[in-house]
């Protein structure tokens, strides 16, 4: 009876109890491969702080034997605990990789939250949070350092040694007052490694490993600037942030300031306070705004500024990360992933241009840096400032709900007026019959006038390339990418047809491949064609094009901006790259060639994106004494997003768009998860998507308010030879959606060759 009983009891059986003992156990999460958490014994040598740098603590990485083959894999130690375990059943940690913890307990909790929230593996999040340069220990090397142990020192004189060289080496090492590598010691006493090895073998010398940095780097310095005197609105915003800093609470604040209202000055002065408390600040900016110009503004105010962005080498990233972790840095300025900077005593996070879509990562873990920043701010009980002239409706809605405070900078500094914005209706033939090009008669005239008065002009066209489709007028053939089935863009400089989704390219056809007609037509307007048109219309003026094609070389972006700021370029044209954050007082005219490019995309944020783009590019003018104006060419001047942008009326836009979203249950009124299923075989991918949708629907039967749409072909139905299907889940709150996806996907095997991407709070709807 008792035996039988014990089989079903929770308490271990007696024979099991015997095998158990109190041991130090490390919980390890693998960086790649298997999900889950695994327990390992910690050998005594690795648990001893006294023995060199390579002891185990939470947040360091380890090498552990894994699986039946016991191959060595890398994992993160996420917990250490002495507990009762059956030691015979556990494997042991083989090696400690890092000399310092890569993640603090707080950062580990943040990554854990991310894995839960974004429905991805914890290990995957850890690998994303710690930059590759840090994981690879780039720019450092491991050296073995030698020393004479204390007890040997005492008896050294009486020791009988095998050779005079051993004696020389031992005496030198004992007397030199520091640790040496074998090579250094051999060099110093003029012997080979042999005698030193003998000493090691006899235990007369001991060795330990250490990581050292290979190479030093120059600091970039900027000329010092003193703080400006804040205007009344700036002062009010600053006071509010300061009060939040002093409160010691997590408070979210939206700094809603029109373009040119001096938001950056407010951040700078708030950060000064933070630094005054001996703490650090993180400033997130969109990758594209992370220019030397931006960094200089911070370097001009603070001693220790670290920069983190994706174009850095592993060595640079690793070095910055270490400086931050050592507390040598006051301000971290960086793109999305800088939200994970290992600041030891964080005091403030700022997200500038918080509406920017580049804060959302488009590969797993698909996190949004602003939302992670809020999570981190709450964990560290510090304020979060979200700055924008066109806040995301998610953040805006939080201010309406009083979850976030709202700080307004309603006017430009020095009371400069916002520029006049007028639309040019492209449907009106009087505007366009002047020419068949992209520049309407009113825009042409405005350019003539601006240039005549020595002003500079910015033209925005959010499509790169020369012509956006290549068509045969005789049979209707359109050149398409074989892998994506999207129309190919003609690039005139390289004389090539290129796919903007996968970079496939081919030479342009001489005759139509279908009907052999020689009359191939290059339709649609890209920045290259616009450039040709500008050069033809304004031959006496200098013009420069800025898009990802012309800006491929590192530094070219900055070069063009520098020349533009010096007045060496009259007309700057380009894609959205030129819409953001530039501050050039001599720009008196902005022309938007086609405001509609993003307006009719199947995306509930299409209106928001259009509004933001027009409002932001309009903000590039009228920043100096000459004032400025904006001409917006459009086929839909009556569209609410465009009407609101013309009036600089964010609140009108927000109110109307939020009304629509409320009716349709779109974020921020409801939550959304998008699942993308893709694969090279259309039928297989579709079947998997259908199977998954069915499982999901089964999981949520009886639950209220959950909508599951699809599967349907994605807006880009084929990309890089993969067919794409999407399932969209919506509900008033996220939790039931997350748990439905979890239940439907655990213990469900996706067939080989089919890929699944689960996107929580999706931004990319294509």
Ligand X SMILES: Nc1ncnc2c1ncn2[C@@H]1O[C@H](COP(=O)(O)OP(=O)(O)OP(=O)(O)O)[C@@H](O)[C@H]1O
From the annotation, which residues make up the binding site? Answer: 472, 475, 481, 484, 499, 502, 512, 515
CA-based nearest residue to 587, from 630, 525, 649, 523:
630
499 binds, among ligand X, Zn ion, none (CB under 5 to 8 A by kind): Zn ion
Of 115, 141, 140, the closest CA to residue 128 belongs to 115
Q: From ligand X, Zn ion, none, which one binds at residue 25 (CB under 5 to 8 Å depending on kind)?
A: none
Q: Whole-number minimum distance, CB 228 to ligand X, in Å?
A: 4
Burial class (CB within 10 angstroms; exposed 0-12, middle 13-18, buried 19+) of 665 = middle
Least Å distance, CB 405 to ligand X, is: 18
Whole-angstrom Cα Rg for the chain = 31
**For residue 35, which of 697, 760, 744, 742 has the smallest C-alpha distance?**
742
Output 389 or 461, the one with its CB closest to ligand X: 389
Q: Which is nearer to Zn ion, 504 or 650 (CB)?
A: 504
Q: Which helix (H) or strand (E) covers residue 30, if one does?
A: strand 20-30
What whole-number distance in Å separates Cα of residue 671 and Cα of residue 752?
Answer: 30
Distance CA(746)–CA(723), nearest Å, equals 24
Q: Can residue 231 be called a binding residue for ligand X (CB under 6 A)?
A: yes
Return phi, psi of residue 279, to 5°: -115, 175
Question: Which residue from 23, 121, 263, 605 is in contact with ligand X, where contact means CB under 6 A?
Answer: 263
CB of 674 to ligand X, least distance (A): 30
Asked if 484 interacts with Zn ion (CB under 5 A), we say yes
Contact, 332 vs 340, CB < 8 A? no
Choice between 506 and 651, CB closer to Zn ion: 506
Q: Which residues contact 24 (CB under 8 A, 6 or more apart)?
A: 41, 42, 47, 80, 81, 82
| Residue whose structure tokens are 């158990």 | 20
Of the candidates 508, 581, 591, 679, which one interacts with ligand X according to CB under 6 A? 581
What does 465 bind: Zn ion, ligand X, none (CB cut-off 5 to 8 Å by kind)? none
Picking from 219, 52, 29, 62, the residue whose alpha carbon sits closest to that of residue 135 is 62
Element (H, E) at 393: helix 393-400
Rounded Cα–Cα distance for residues 424 and 422 (Å): 7
Cβ within 8 Å of residue 86, ≥6 positions away: 16, 19, 20
The first and second tokens of residue 94, run together, are 């083989």
Does residue 413 belong to the site contacting ligand X (CB under 6 A)?
A: yes
Q: If we measure between CA atoms, which residue out of 466, 460, 595, 575 comes closest to residue 523?
A: 466
- Site membership for ligand X, residue 411 (CB under 6 A): no
Is residue 234 within the footprint of ligand X (CB under 6 A)? Answer: yes
Helix axes 105-117, 122-129, angle to 10 degrees: 130
Choose the binding region for Zn ion from 184-192, 333-341, 480-488, 665-673 (rule: CB under 5 A).
480-488
Binding range to Zn ion, per CB under 5 A, among 104-112, 371-379, 474-482, 646-654: 474-482
Among the listed ranges 87-95, 130-138, 263-271, 713-721, the one in contact with ligand X (CB under 6 A) is: 263-271
Q: Which of 133, 139, 195, 260 binds ligand X (CB under 6 A)?
A: 260
User: Which tokens is 493 given?
Assistant: 């400089």
In what side-by-side order are the strands of the sheet with 305-308? 305-308, 331-334, 280-284, 346-352, 384-388, 252-257, 405-409
Q: Pick the piece of the chain touching ligand X (CB under 6 A) from 112-120, 226-234, 435-443, 593-601.
A: 226-234
Give the one entry of Zn ion, ligand X, none that residue 166 binds, where binding means its C-beta sits below a cut-off of 5 to 8 angstroms depending on kind. Answer: none
Report how many residues bind ligand X under the rule CB under 6 A.
18
- In the shown chain, the binding pattern of residues 77 to 96 toward ligand X, with x for contact by CB under 6 A and - for none, equals --------------------
State the residue for tokens 């006493």: 189
389 binds ligand X (CB under 6 A): yes
- Residue span binding Zn ion (CB under 5 A) among the ranges 178-186, 224-232, 493-501, 664-672: 493-501
Residue 583 near which of Zn ion, ligand X, none (CB within 5-8 Å, type-dependent): ligand X
Q: Would you give the DSSP letter of residue 14?
A: H
Give the residue with the Cβ less far from Zn ion, 395 or 487.
487
Q: Which residues are annotated as a binding site for Zn(2+)?
A: 472, 475, 481, 484, 499, 502, 512, 515
Q: Give whichever of 266 and 729 is closer to ligand X, judged by the CB atom.
A: 266
Q: Is 49 exposed, middle or buried (0-12, 13-18, 19+ CB in 10 A)?
A: exposed
**Contact of residue 581 among Zn ion, ligand X, none (CB under 5-8 Å per partner type):** ligand X
* Residue 499 contacts Zn ion per CB under 5 A: yes
Is residue 481 a contact residue for Zn ion (CB under 5 A)? Answer: yes
For residue 9, the number of C-alpha atoms closer than 13 Å in the C-beta half-sphere is: 11
Interface with ligand X, residue 262, by CB under 6 A: yes
If the CB atoms of residues 359 and 504 are measured against Zn ion, the closer one turns out to be: 504
**Contact range with ligand X by CB under 6 A, out of 114-122, 173-181, 201-209, 224-232:** 224-232
Tell whether residue 504 is a contact of Zn ion (CB under 5 A): yes
Let me know if 11 is exposed, middle or buried by CB neighbors in 10 A (0-12, 13-18, 19+): exposed
Choice between 353 and 759, CB closer to ligand X: 353
> Of 456 and 745, which CB lies nearer to ligand X in the complex structure?
456
Question: How many CB atoms neighbour CB 397 within 10 A?
Answer: 19
CA distance 685 to 297: 50
3-state secondary structure string across 288-334: HHCCHHHHHHHHCCCCCEEEECCCCCHHHHHHHHHHHHCCCCCEEEE
Q: Which residues pair with 30 in a beta bridge?
A: 75
Give burial (CB, 10 Å; 0-12/13-18/19+) of 443.
Answer: buried
Residue 544 binds what, of ligand X, Zn ion, none (CB under 5 to 8 Å, by partner type)? none
| Cβ at position 565, least distance to ligand X in Å | 12
CB atoms within 10 A of CB 143: 16
Among 87, 189, 222, 230, binds ligand X (CB under 6 A): 230
Single out the segment in contact with ligand X by CB under 6 A; choices: 261-269, 526-534, 655-663, 690-698.
261-269
Say whether residue 483 binds Zn ion (CB under 5 A).
yes
Contact flag: residue 228 with ligand X (CB under 6 A) = yes
- Smaller CB distance to ligand X: residue 375 or 388? 388
Nearer to Zn ion, 504 or 564 (CB): 504
Q: How far is the CB of 717 from Zn ion (least distance, A)?
A: 12
User: In whole angstroms, how close is the CB of 409 to ligand X at the nearest point?
Assistant: 7
Among 502, 601, 716, 765, binds Zn ion (CB under 5 A): 502
Alpha-carbon 86 to chain mean position: 43
Q: Which is nearer to Zn ion, 389 or 484 (CB)?
A: 484
- Cis geometry, peptide bond prior to residue 711 (ω within 30 degrees of 0): yes
Three-state secondary structure call for residue 424: strand
Give which of ligand X, Zn ion, none residue 483 binds (C-beta under 5 to 8 Å, depending on kind): Zn ion
Q: Which of 206, 562, 583, 682 binds ligand X (CB under 6 A)?
A: 583
Nearer to Zn ion, 501 or 584 (CB): 501
Q: SS3 of 147, please?
A: strand
Site residues (CB under 6 A) for ligand X?
228-231, 234, 257, 259-265, 389, 413, 581, 583, 619
Using CB under 5 A, list all residues that contact Zn ion: 481, 483-484, 499, 501-502, 504
């Amino acid at each position: 009876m008792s035996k039988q009983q014990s089989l079903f009891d929770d308490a271990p059986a007696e024979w099991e109890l015997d095998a158990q003992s109190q041991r130090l156990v490390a919980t390890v999460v693998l960086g790649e491969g298997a999900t889950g958490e695994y327990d390992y014994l910690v050998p005594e040598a690795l648990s001893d702080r006294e023995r060199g740098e390579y002891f185990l603590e939470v947040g360091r990485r380890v090498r552990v034997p894994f699986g039946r083959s016991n191959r060595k894999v890398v994992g993160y130690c996420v917990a250490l605990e002495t507990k009762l375990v059956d030691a015979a059943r556990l494997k042991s940690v083989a090696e400690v990789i890092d000399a310092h913890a890569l993640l603090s307990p707080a950062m580990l909790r943040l990554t854990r939250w991310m894995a839960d929230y974004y429905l991805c593996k914890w290990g995957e999040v850890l690998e994303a949070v710690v930059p590759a340069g840090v994981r690879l220990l780039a720019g450092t090397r491991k050296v073995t350092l030698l020393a004479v142990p204390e007890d040997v020192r005492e008896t050294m004189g009486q020791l009988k040694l095998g050779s005079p060289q051993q004696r020389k080496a031992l005496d030198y090492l004992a007397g030199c007052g520091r640790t040496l590598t074998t090579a250094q010691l051999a060099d110093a006493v003029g012997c080979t490694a042999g005698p030193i090895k003998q000493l090691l073998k006899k235990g007369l010398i001991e060795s330990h490993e250490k990581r050292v940095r290979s190479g030093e780097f120059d600091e970039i310095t900027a000329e010092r600037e003193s703080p400006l005197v804040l205007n009344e609105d700036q002062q009010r915003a600053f006071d509010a942030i300061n009060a939040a800093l002093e409160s010691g609470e997590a408070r979210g604040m939206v700094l809603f300031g029109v373009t040119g209202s001096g938001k950056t000055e407010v951040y700078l002065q708030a950060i000064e306070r933070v630094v005054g408390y001996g703490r650090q600040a993180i400033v997130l900016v969109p990758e594209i705004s992370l220019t030397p110009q931006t960094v200089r503004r911070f370097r001009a105010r603070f001693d220790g500024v670290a920069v983190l962005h994706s174009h850095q080498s592993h060595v640079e990233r690793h070095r910055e990360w270490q400086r931050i972790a050592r507390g040598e840095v006051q301000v971290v300025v960086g793109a999305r992933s800088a939200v994970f900077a290992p600041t030891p005593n964080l005091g403030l996070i700022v997200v500038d241009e918080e509406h920017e879509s580049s804060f959302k990562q488009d590969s797993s873990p698909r996190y949004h840096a602003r939302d992670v920043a809020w999570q981190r701010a709450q964990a560290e009980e510090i304020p979060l400032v979200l700055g924008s002239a066109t806040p995301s409706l998610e953040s805006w809605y939080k201010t309406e709900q009083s979850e976030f405070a709202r700080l307004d900078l309603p006017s430009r500094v020095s009371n400069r007026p916002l520029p006049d914005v007028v639309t040019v209706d492209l449907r009106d033939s009087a505007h366009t019959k002047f020419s068949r090009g992209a520049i309407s008669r009113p825009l042409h005239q405005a350019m003539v006038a601006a240039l005549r008065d020595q002003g500079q002009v910015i033209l925005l066209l959010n499509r790169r390339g020369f012509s956006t489709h290549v068509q045969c007028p005789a049979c209707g053939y359109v050149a398409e990418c074989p892998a994506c089935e999207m129309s190919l863009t003609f690039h005139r400089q390289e004389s090539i047809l290129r796919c903007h989704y996968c970079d496939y390219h081919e030479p342009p056809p001489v005759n139509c491949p279908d009907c052999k007609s020689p009359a191939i037509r290059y339709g649609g307007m890209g920045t290259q064609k616009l450039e040709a048109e500008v050069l033809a219309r304004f031959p006496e003026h200098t013009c420069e094009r800025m898009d990802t094609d012309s800006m491929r070389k590192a530094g070219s972006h900055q070069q063009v901006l520098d020349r533009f700021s010096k007045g060496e370029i009259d007309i700057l044209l380009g894609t959205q790259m030129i819409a953001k954050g530039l501050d050039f007082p001599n720009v008196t005219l902005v022309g938007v060639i086609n405001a509609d490019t993003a307006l009719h995309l199947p995306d509930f944020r299409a209106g928001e994106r259009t509004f933001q783009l027009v409002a932001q590019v309009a903000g590039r003018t009228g920043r100096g004494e000459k004032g400025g104006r904006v001409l917006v060419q459009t086929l839909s001047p009556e569209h609410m997003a465009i009407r609101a942008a013309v009036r600089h009326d964010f609140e009108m836009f927000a109110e109307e768009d939020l009304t629509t979203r409320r009716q349709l249950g779109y974020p921020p009124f409801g939550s959304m998860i998008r699942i993308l299923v893709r694969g090279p075989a259309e039928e297989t991918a579709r079947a998997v998507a259908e199977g998954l949708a069915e499982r999901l629907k089964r999981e949520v039967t009886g639950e209220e308010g959950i909508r599951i749409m699809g599967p349907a072909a994605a807006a880009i139905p084929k990309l890089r030879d993969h067919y794409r299907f999407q399932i969209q889940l919506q509900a008033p709150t996220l939790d039931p959606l997350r748990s439905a996806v979890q239940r439907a996907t655990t213990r469900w095997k996706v067939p080989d060759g089919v890929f699944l991407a689960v996107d929580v709070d999706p931004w990319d709807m294509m």
